[in-house]
Chain A
Amino acid sequence: MAKIDLNDLHLTFTVHQQKRVSLKEYIVRGLFRKSNAMAVHALAGLNLQVRDGDRLGIIGHNGAGKSTLLKLMAGIYPPTQGERVVEGSICSLFDISLGFEPEASGWDNIRFRAYLQGESPASLRGKIQSIADFTELGDFLNLPVRHYSAGMMMRLAFAIATAIEPEILLVDEVLAVGDLAFQQKAQVRMKELMSTARIMVLVAHDLATIRAMCNRVIWMEHGVAKMDGPPDQVVDTYIASVTGQTMPHVGAKAA
């Protein structure tokens, strides 16, 4: 039994201007409590219950809080207010090319990632060869990862991330992984994962994918679920609203 419960969830974060703060400025700001930070209300009172068997699609314009919501479900972003209850093992497929140790070999990085996903040396022993085979990187796995091309990194990342059998699968956008041959292989693997996972949450701009993969869709706007229902109904309303107006108002950027 896997579930995701979000009750009246708020997430506000402050974005600081990315510039060097001099000591003088630091003291002056500290004294007069004037901050140049901007508050972003990425999620504003979201309620969501996801249960076994749900294939949830999340749509909405850029900055509506889709990716933030996914990261919050994964436990990376803590909620500012409200309650997040997630039961079940999570596999998150976003930012998967982050967090490689550039100086370590491909083999070692497979181990680090697998341990990070909760494997133990014993449980990994049976899987590591199949992960390595899936990457099709062969002898390149003996080289430090910093010599890899972007496509090779993605192959490695994808193979490791999808090697476990999660109960909850969180996916951000459709992954464009490697060359054409690998992309097809990756899509087959994704479909497999999506069908075996108890819960799948997919953030995508490709509405055809959403219609095909999901059995429930929410439409996010300004940090709340504006609409929640069967895919065709929600997607059609969304399309109508976007084409009806010229362009949706782009709010605070929350990616």
Chain B
Amino acid sequence: MIHHLSAIWKFRHFLMALVRLDLRLRYRRSVLGVGWSLLKPLAMTAVFATVFSGMLGGGDIARYVPHLLIGMAIWEFLRECVVTGCKSLIQGESYIRQSPLPYGIYPLRTVLGQAIHSLIALGVAVVATFYYRPDTNPLGFLYAVPGLALMFLASWAAATIFSFLNVYFQDTSHLLEVGAQIVFFLSPIMYLPEILAAKGMQWLMDINPVALFMELIRTPIMDGAPPSVAMLVAGTSFAAVMMGLAAGTTAWLQKRVIFHL
């Protein structure tokens, strides 16, 4: 695994050049350009806050709006990493057929690009939090950094696993899209976590890694306090297990996957 990572480091220039290209192409020929990545969550939040704040947000706009914005930025990242990331090996076929690059580089291309994109959206959410919650610790978002790093690693691992799976079983990408839709509603993104707990479904959040990362990232930004040690341990373990699975999948399939592409 160390060998694999150092091989990726060796090709960092190639990787970063492609990530930059992807970002540039994403908003090619659009008037707003990168503004779209700001506008989309803002528009969604405006609609949600108007329609659902009473029902799902407990009527507290100052809490519900930052909750939604941060949640949406995180969710968009996780969803894209899995749904788009699972196609990364198929997308990279022409490179795979030409050069013996480490396989982890292809999902990393997708995940890095999405990370930059989502960080912009998260920046907007942090600013909105200052606006709606002026008495929150202004440096509280720094407590979210470990959560963000763990989420990045776990997402890269997930994208790697699913991209291998998708080569062998191409319905994976469709299944993931359906799955993402389900997980979206099962995670505390458009509703507050208490709502699930009040209905006796706390267990649903305890087993949901999306809820875990929401907690690790959203709570520090909104409350300006570090996440609990238990949460950090859970997040670290989850990321470690995912990285282990991804390393195992890569080691298992990297010598065969080219014959299936």
Contacts and interface: CB of A to CB of B under 8 A. Distances in A.
Interface in A58-112: 74-78, 92, 95-96, 98-101, 103-104, 108, 111-112
A115 B260 CA distance: 26
10 contacts: A13-B259, A104-B25, A108-B17, A112-B18, A115-B11, A115-B13, A116-B14, A116-B95, A116-B101, A121-B13
A98 B97 contact: yes
B94 A99 contact: yes
Contacts of A111: 17
A119 B13 contact: yes
A108 B94 CA distance: 17
Interface residues on B, range: 20 to 34
B258 A76 contact: yes
Interface residues of A, number: 30
Given A76-B100, A78-B254, A116-B11, A98 B94 contact: yes
Interface in B203-261: 254-256, 258-260
Interface in A218-251: none
B99 interface: yes
B98 A76 contact: yes
B6 to A, nearest CB: 14
Interface of B: 10-11, 13-14, 17-18, 21, 25, 28, 94-101, 169, 171, 254-256, 258-260
Interface of A: 13-16, 23, 26, 74-78, 92, 95-96, 98-101, 103-104, 108, 111-112, 115-121
Contacts of B25: 103-104
A96 B25 CA distance: 24
Given A76-B96, A76-B97, A121-B13, 9 more contacts: A13-B259, A76-B258, A98-B98, A99-B94, A99-B95, A99-B97, A101-B18, A101-B21, A116-B11
Given A104-B21, A112-B18, A99 B13 contact: no
A237 B101 CA distance: 39
Contacts of A117: 99
A99 B97 CA distance: 9
